[in-house]
Amino acid sequence: MTAHRPTAVIVLAAGGGTRMKSDTPKVLHPIGGRSLLQHALTAAREIQPEHLVVVVRHDRDRVVDHIAVVDPMVVVADQDDVPGTGRAVECGLDVLPADLGGTVVVTMGDVPLLTGETLRGLVAAHVEAGSAVTVITAELTDPSGYGRILRDADGNVVANVEHKDASDEQRAIAEVNAGLYAFDLQVLRRALTQVGQDNAQGEKYLTDVLAVVHAEGGAITAHRLDDRWQTEGVNDRVQLARLGAELNRRTVEAWMREGVTVVDPRTTWIDADVSLGRDVTIHPQTQLLGASTIGSGVTLGPDTTLTDVEIADGASVSRTQGSLAVIGAGATVGPFAYLRPGTVLGVQGKIGTFVETKNAQIGDGAKVPHLSYVGDAEIGEGTNIGAGTIFANYDGVEKHHTTIGKHVKTGSHNTFVAPVHVGDGAATGGGAVVRRDVPPGALAVSTGPQRHIDDWVQRKRPGSKAAAAAAAAAGQENREDQGSA
């Protein structure tokens, strides 16, 4: 439980984000494995509000569907045709009980680096000061586009003026409004009824609440935040990339402080929901995405991309792409492996060079070392699959399953035509095409005995280098035979 639990958090996510020039709503664009809106909801949940509201409008159904997936307990409020952040907050308040009191926090759906810790600090400062309004502010070297904080001669906050409505003198002010607030809920309700749309944008500004509260004699506190990244929103793809890079830098640095070795932080990407154990080593050009879980002592990379992959302690994965796969303790994967969903590699198992797997359960100590495709298959403990093996799982209409037993040794260049079962301890010959079940301990072969057609090259390719080499070798063998005689 937080020391100062707010009554509600209202997240504003109604804007169209036209500068993104995208068919995807701005708040659904991802960085660090989460949408911008999910980052905002995650920070809000960390302060444990009694009510969490998201105000939506642009592409409403897509945004609401996303909310239902990432935080189904959120209350959705629809903004009407009246434009502006003030009206958005009014719509958010309308879905809360009318007699509700306490502190309400207002945040934005496009400020992905904002943390729960910062929101806790905001609420604590607001409650301890007994203010009607507390606003997060920041000092920027280039405050263009931001609302400016206006103070009186005693340094008290009295109002906010938007950039487009500001005079030249006001635009010279470096302290800006970050658009993040804590309000006394009843004061906010009352003040919003006095806010109009007489401004350059013709919108109902939330920022105008400050002047209304000041005129009523209410206390306004500025909560200064030195970490400007937490106040920066996303308006276009350039800002999306810049904030994504900064989020990743912070994520990578945090894991290094927790005992993870990152050889080249500049080329390593780690999503927000990834979990890493101690003494993990990550080599350059590695991306850990989704909700991947990495155990202790694991070595990853270089040139590896893993999405929603679970890796147990002591495993090693090199130059591999994988998703929705499980890798057992002490197992090795790669280089140049492709793990598709449903791959499960057992303890001390091996998936080697140029191997693709899909829906494959590979037992403890089992090995698929080189140049193979394993799809819709189960491979038993201690089995070794020969180089160049194909599990032919598709008959053109349906997929079928292959089972290879324990401690089986298969020859190189085998094809297992599913559905087929190879018993424990069996073996297969090189080049075998296995179409029928193989009993335990049996040797399966499908090729005939080797035979030779003498002088084929000389007759079929006369005058070629191969024919000349063969003739020379035959002459040498004749001379050696005569000498031994």
State the residue for tokens 């089986």.
408
Mean pLDDT of 250-263: 98
CA angle 281, 305, 363 (to 5 degrees): 80
Helix runs in 280-375, H state only: none
Query: Considering the entire predicted model, what is its pTM?
Result: 0.90
Looking at residue 478, what is its pLDDT? 72
Task: Please answer whether residues 440 and 423 qualify as being in contact, where contact means their C-beta atoms are separated by less than 8 angstroms.
Answer: yes
The 10s digit of each residue's pLDDT in 318-374 is 999 999 999 999 999 999 999 999 999 999 999 999 999 999 999 999 999 999 999
Average pLDDT over residues 43-57: 98
What the block records as the tokens of 1 is: 């439980």
- CA-based nearest residue to 63, from 115, 8, 109: 109
Per-residue pLDDT of 409-433, as tens digits, reads 999 999 999 999 999 999 999 999 9
User: What is the enclosing helix (H) or strand (E) of 458?
Assistant: helix 456-460
CA gap 243, 229 in Å, rounded: 8
- pLDDT tens for 148-186 read 999 999 888 998 888 888 999 999 999 999 999 999 999
Give the residues across from 326 on adjacent strands: 310, 344
Distance of CA 245 to the CA centre of its chain: 13
Q: Residue 394 above 60 pLDDT? A: yes
pLDDT of residue 484: 65
Query: Region 55-68: what's the mean pLDDT?
Result: 97
pLDDT, residue 227, reads 94
For residue range 433-479, list pLDDT tens digits in order.
Answer: 999 999 999 999 998 888 889 999 989 999 999 999 999 998 876 77
Indicate the class that CATH gives domain 260-444. mainly beta
Domain ranges of the chain: 8-231, 260-444
Catalytic residue (one of 66, 214, 370, 421): 370
Could you tell me which residue, 276 or 476, shows the higher pLDDT? 276
**Does 1 have pLDDT greater than 60?**
no
Q: What percentage of the chain has pLDDT greater than the value 90? A: 86
Residue-level pLDDT at 18: 92
Inter-axis angle of helices 60-70 and 36-45, to 10 degrees? Answer: 50
Are 122 and 223 in contact, with CB atoms under 8 Å apart?
yes
What is the CATH class of 8-231?
alpha beta
Q: Which residues pair with 281 in a beta bridge?
A: 261, 299
For 70-123, the pLDDT digits (tens) are 999 999 999 999 999 999 999 999 999 999 999 999 999 999 999 999 999 999
Is position 370 annotated as part of the catalytic site?
yes
